[in-house]
Amino acid sequence: MDGEAAGEVVAPGRVAITPAAAEVVERMRARHGPVVFHQSGGCCDGSSPMCFPEGDLIMGPQDVVLGEVAGAGFYMTSAQYRLWEHTHLTVDVVPGRGAGFSLEAPDGIRFLIRSRLLTDDEAASPAAAPVA
Amino acid sequence: MAAYPRPTRGPGPSDFAERYDNFIGGKWVPPVTGEYFDDIAPLTGQPFTKIARSTAADVDLALDAAHDAFPAWSRTSAAQRALMMNKIADRIEENLEALAVAECWENGKAVRECLAADLPLAVDHWRYFAAAIRAQEGSAGVIDEDMVAYHFHEPLGVVGQIIPWNFPILMATWKIAPALAAGNCVVLKPAEQTPWSILKVMELIADLLPDGVLNVVNGFGAEAGKPLASSDRVAKVAFTGETTTGRLIMQYASANIIPVTLELGGKSPNVFCADVMREDDAFLDKALEGFTMFALNQGEVCTCPSRALVHESIYDEFMERATRRTEAIVSGDPLDPATMIGAQASNDQLEKVMSYFDIGREEGATVRTGGGRRTVPSDDGAYDGGYYVEPTIFEGSNSMRVFQEEIFGPVVSVTRFSDTDDALRIANDTLYGLGAGVWSRDGNTAYRLGRGIQAGRVWTNNYHAYPAGAAFGGYKASGIGRENHKMMLDHYQQTKNLLVSYSPDKLGFF
């Protein structure tokens, strides 16, 4: 998380990415430089992860970083994470159209979250030490 | 009545051209890069036309045109502006059926809804703000015998508006009408899912407004929306969409020190008190329809009543009837006025809804009805690739993710409550606060619930009505500002105060 803003790693191993989505992250990085994800809520294109150039969205103390996928930090607000912390997330990509200001949309694709419940082992695993 | 014919390439009022440029300075202007993107029909999953893929250079052209137009437009009288707006309303009304079919085709919604709601509401909205600006007055405050504070309303200037895809024409109207009424010029960035239907409106009304007063630039959020929202040449940004982009827009606005209004969605509770079942009458019938409103517009409504809270004493019987009502929703060709539900607006929306079916089941929510994709048969199989979802009822508890996140599909998550306090606790246990519904035969109960729910709009013994004149906007993470009410003029105006002394005497300080 070098150079990234506030946020502590709260869910190591609880966010993953599919190979297809990882390829898109690489493509976005080649085009735009380092990128991050921020999980969006609310209407329209919400409830999906937004992919932005790193530093574009200013992260603050209200955000946590769950971990890193394909070299990109995965953030959400701590208020939302409290509602999500019992689930394991996988960033996937599907054909789509429209995504707020997320970077991948012009390619006719959209990042999407697939979720499952944590296994008992995952749920029991200790959280990593907070990262400043 | 038979289904409307599908729009096709051609000159018909609901038909489409090969491609569409931006509308800038009263003219159709090709995108600077010369690139276009596909507009996809959700009913079929197939592209049908091409739309300008704009970038910062196109946004700049639109801002140039808007700034050129502003000095003259800002000096027009309220009567002149109102007259133009009333003419726009008339023009849309004269073409209501054609626009309804176009919007159905592009957005995927059932045409009955465009005919009965989207378009008539848009027409009325223009008329409402035409009337509101005529009736607006400044004020003269007498501070003391020698001093008067005059207050004048002045337009902000050139404003940027980024609109959503769920009601392409109505949401554009909600933002454009008050801005123009107040004397601003507009650069509008429609959603990339639905860029075409508003262009059909522009074709119809282009001659009614001076060049440059209203400009439409299409493209993707990252390529066209961001340059508009971050431009130092806009005096205000209005946005409807999701929370993360809303945050970005506030952030850009902070760099320019300009105001924003944001409408960011919700997870609206619809509360059914025990007395709803006291009689089997018209009111109960209305309440059951109110429950089923979660499927209106395929659930693609910021205020979708996507959580239903049902009193435990009536739960089983109410839910039996509510389920029957839901299963009676008529599926079919969305261009058939008898069809009650259409397609989700895009493939990613369909995929998102399906992903919530997965996590809902994993979390232990029970699927009472629905829970999968829906097929719409047609003679030629054209709708086989469309984005159709079954109206779906989940039962579970409010901590589940299907109770906490906006799915934007025809999905309701239902739980029980024991008393008024319990209902308020559950209703308010959400990050959002846009809409809510309260159903009770007892005025006191309905009032307490309505005041207690932290949401900007509490429909009481009705749901999903959007009359102009009823303020609409969010508490909590649902946004900032209000729409759909004359108070919105204030969101598009500066207050000029002339503080005038009528005394010949100096103060005596120096």
What are B39's two structure tokens? 């507009």
pLDDT-derived band at B387, boundaries 50, 70, 90: very high
DSSP A12-32: TTSEEE-HHHHHHHHHHHHHH
Pairing label, strands B27-29, A72-77: unpaired
Mean of the pLDDT values across residues B219-244?
97
What are B458's two structure tokens? 């509490």
A76 C-beta neighbours (distance < 10 Å), count: 27
Mean of the pLDDT values across residues A77-90?
94
CB B209 within 8 A of CB B91: no
Cβ–Cβ of A45/B399 closer than 8 Å?
no
Return the sign of the alpha-carbon dihedral for residues B120, B486, B258, B210.
positive
Say which residue the tokens 């024991």 belong to: B418
DSSP B18-82: SEE-EEETTEEE--TT--EEEEEETTTTEEEEEEE---HHHHHHHHHHHHHHHHHHHTS-HHHHH
Looking at the complex, does the CB of residue A105 fall below 8 Å from at least one CB of chain B?
yes
Return the sign of the alpha-carbon dihedral for residues B486, B487, B488, B489.
positive
**Residues B27-36: tens digit of each pLDDT:** 999 999 999 9
Please tell me the predicted confidence (pLDDT) of residue A43: 85
pLDDT at position A4 over 60:
no
Q: Which residues of B15-27 are buried (b: 16+ CB within 10 A; e: fewer)?
A: bbeeebbbbbbbe
| Phi, psi for A79 (deg, rounded to 5) | -60, -40
Alpha-carbon span A60 to B449, nearest angstrom: 35
Please tell me the predicted confidence (pLDDT) of residue A125: 75
The closest alpha carbon to B43, from B343, B269, B297, belongs to B343
The closest alpha carbon to B200, from B11, B368, B33, belongs to B11
Cβ–Cβ of A44/B38 closer than 8 Å?
no
- Any idea which residues of B carry the catalytic annotation? 263, 302
Residues 67-96 on A with a CB inside 8 Å of B are 79-80, 83-84, 87, 94-96
Q: How far out from the chain centre does Cα A84 lie?
A: 12
> Chain A partners of B351 at a C-beta cutoff of 8 Å?
94, 96, 110, 112
End-to-end CA distance of chain A: 9
Please tell me the predicted confidence (pLDDT) of residue B421: 98
Does this complex have an ipTM over 0.90?
Answer: yes
Give me chain B's average pLDDT, please: 97
| Phi, psi for A101 (deg, rounded to 5) | -100, 15
Please tell me the predicted confidence (pLDDT) of residue A6: 52
Please tell me the predicted confidence (pLDDT) of residue A45: 86
Give B136's contacts (C-beta < 8 A, 6+ positions apart).
B78, B153, B486, B489
Q: What three-state secondary structure class fits A94?
A: strand
Alpha-carbon span B369 to B357, nearest angstrom: 12
What are B59's two structure tokens? 């946004």
DSSP B263-287: E-----EEEE-GGGGSS-SHHHHHH
Residues in chain B: 510
> Chain B partners of A95 at a C-beta cutoff of 8 Å?
347-348
> Chain B partners of A114 at a C-beta cutoff of 8 Å?
355, 358
pLDDT at position B156 over 70:
yes
Give B144's contacts (C-beta < 8 A, 6+ positions apart).
none
The closest alpha carbon to B101, from B179, B12, B31, B184, belongs to B12
Alpha-carbon span B113 to B64, nearest angstrom: 37
CB B228 within 8 A of CB B216: no
Q: Which residues of B297-313 are buried (b: 16+ CB within 10 A; e: fewer)?
A: bbbbbbbbbbbbbbbee
- How is residue B295 annotated by DSSP? G
**Residue B439: in which H helix or E strand, if any?**
strand B435-439
**Residues B418-460: tens digit of each pLDDT:** 999 999 999 999 999 999 999 999 999 999 999 999 999 999 9
Cβ–Cβ of A97/B265 closer than 8 Å?
no
Cβ–Cβ of B302/A80 closer than 8 Å?
no
B78 C-beta neighbours (distance < 10 Å), count: 18
pLDDT at position A5 over 60:
no
Looking at the complex, does the CB of residue A14 fall below 8 Å from at least one CB of chain B?
no
What are B310's two structure tokens? 């049902």
Distance between B443 CA and the closest CA of chain A, angstroms? 31
Q: How far out from the chain centre does Cα B407 lie?
A: 16
Least confident segment among A45-49, B104-108, B306-310: A45-49
Please tell me the predicted confidence (pLDDT) of residue A127: 57
Looking at the complex, does the CB of residue A127 fall below 8 Å from at least one CB of chain B?
no
- How is residue B163 annotated by DSSP? -
Looking at the complex, does the CB of residue A114 fall below 8 Å from at least one CB of chain B?
yes
Give me chain A's average pLDDT, please: 88
pLDDT at position B291 over 80:
yes
Cβ–Cβ of B244/A110 closer than 8 Å?
no
pLDDT-derived band at A1, boundaries 50, 70, 90: very low
What are B250's two structure tokens? 């506030």
Distance between A104 CA and the closest CA of chain B, angstroms? 9
Partner residue facing A41 (CB), from B38, B300, B431 = B431
> Chain B partners of A80 at a C-beta cutoff of 8 Å?
431
Residue of B137 and A130 predicted with greater confidence: B137
Cβ–Cβ of B241/A48 closer than 8 Å?
no
Alpha-carbon span B399 to B104, nearest angstrom: 35
Mean of the pLDDT values across residues B364-382?
97
Cβ–Cβ of A98/B165 closer than 8 Å?
yes
> Residue ranges of the alpha helices (H) in B334-380?
347-362
Give B97's contacts (C-beta < 8 A, 6+ positions apart).
B115
> Chain B partners of A43 at a C-beta cutoff of 8 Å?
164, 166, 240-242, 263-266, 302, 406, 408
What are B251's two structure tokens? 């952030």
Q: What three-state secondary structure class fits B16?
A: strand
**Residues B67-126: tens digit of each pLDDT:** 999 999 999 999 999 999 999 999 999 999 999 999 999 999 999 999 999 999 999 999
pLDDT-derived band at B217, boundaries 50, 70, 90: very high
CB A72 within 8 A of CB A35: yes
What are B176's two structure tokens? 């454009």
Least confident segment among A8-12, A14-18, B92-96: A8-12
Q: What three-state secondary structure class fits A36?
A: strand
Cβ–Cβ of B248/A101 closer than 8 Å?
yes
